[in-house]
Amino acid sequence: MRYFVEEYKNKYERLMLKFKEKKIECDVLKDECKVLKQKIKSLQKKKKSASIGDKEMVRIGYLEDEYRKMESEEKEKGVRLNEEIEGLKCANKRANDEVEELKIQATMLMKTNVKLGEELEDYKAKYEGLLAQLNEKAGLEVGLKEMVKILEEENQKIKMDQRENCAKLRKEIEDLGCAKRNADDEIEALERKCMELEVQGTVSLNYVIELEKQLTNQMSIMVHQDDELMDLRARCNGMSEREMTALGKVACLEEVVKKMECDKRETENRILKSWKGKAGEMESWEKRLPELETGVLSAEEGNLSLRGPKNEVSCRKMHDKVDVADMVHPELIDSMLIEPNINPSSFQGNSEDVHDQ
């Protein structure tokens, strides 16, 4: 507040100085006008008293013009000075009003200063009490300063460790980013492989379905052949009974029986050979089955780890398809498709010969 009071006082003093300077200028101009008027009056008196020449007339006219100019300039300067004086008066009035306001504020400040002085005394008393406490706790301050120094040193060490850790973490983040990119590439490659395996699984499933159809056909053929064999055995039994009753035809019947037994052995040997070949192939496939299951399980685990639980069902389906496709080999199917070289017509021919005899 004192600063504002001093500022307004300085402003008021500057305005008063300007006012005094302008007033002095007005007084000087008035004095000059008076001197010129006196000169003009003296010249007019001389003109009346004595005859004046042309030069003096010219000079008088020149002086009159100069007087008029100076008079007009004086009027203009007077108007300007009056305006400036009015402005200065207004400014002075405003300054006085502001000074009054500042005085009121100063009185208010004085009252507040009195209150603050009283509060200052109270604070001084409190300060003395706190100073006594501070003196008592001076020893603690030394210990606290030492603790602060130790903590600052530890803080510096921690900052250094944090910087090193930040550098390590940044490097690890970069390495993890590279590893993530590589993993994404591997995942894409594995997904492509999974799609290819799914396609192969569907193809193998269709192939297995066709093989099952062929197997059912072969089994029906084998059943039909077994039925024919049973019929042939029944016929053989009937023929043996007829041999016992027909003593006269023993020689012919023995020949017929021998032929039938030879044909029977040939058919049985062929059947045994075919079944032995099939059994060997089945054993080889059974031995190979655990290896295929382990390979499929490892592929299934890789697919599950990459695709997650959403693709678990599709991977199981693919696993079942691959198991079925691996169990059935094209060579086994080709061997099964080969019909046993059994010619039942020979049995029929022999039986017909026996009946004819």
Structure tokens at 304: 């599950």
What Å distances lie between residue 344 and 46, 159, 239, 341, CA to CA? 184, 99, 17, 10
How confident is the model at residue 249, as a pLDDT?
65
Residue with tokens 């079925």: 324
CA–CA gap between residue 300 and residue 319 (Å, rounded): 7
- Does this model's pTM top 0.75? no
Buried b (16+ CB within 10 A) or exposed e, 180-189: eeeeeeeeee
Q: How many CB atoms lie within 10 A of CB 81?
A: 17
Phi-psi region of 18 (alpha: psi -120 to 50; beta: other; left: phi over 0): alpha
Name the percent of the chain in helix, strand, coil, to the closest 5: 95, 0, 5
CA–CA gap between residue 96 and residue 16 (Å, rounded): 12
CA–CA gap between residue 334 and residue 274 (Å, rounded): 12
Structure tokens at 90: 């207004």
CB 350 within 8 A of CB 258: no
Reported as a single tens digit per residue, the pLDDT across 314-332 is 445 444 444 444 444 444 4
How confident is the model at residue 243, as a pLDDT?
62
Provide the residue-wise pLDDT of the chain in tens; the chain has 357 residues: 555 556 666 766 777 777 777 777 777 777 777 777 777 777 666 665 554 556 666 776 777 777 677 777 777 877 777 777 777 778 777 777 777 777 787 778 778 778 877 887 887 788 788 777 777 777 677 777 787 788 888 878 888 887 888 788 888 888 888 888 888 888 888 888 878 888 888 887 888 888 888 888 888 888 888 888 888 878 878 776 776 676 666 666 677 678 888 888 888 888 787 777 777 777 777 777 777 777 767 776 766 665 554 444 444 544 444 444 444 444 444 444 444 443 444 434 444 444 444
CA–CA gap between residue 260 and residue 102 (Å, rounded): 149
CA–CA gap between residue 24 and residue 348 (Å, rounded): 166
How confident is the model at residue 329, as a pLDDT?
43
- DSSP secondary structure code for residue 329 in this structure: -
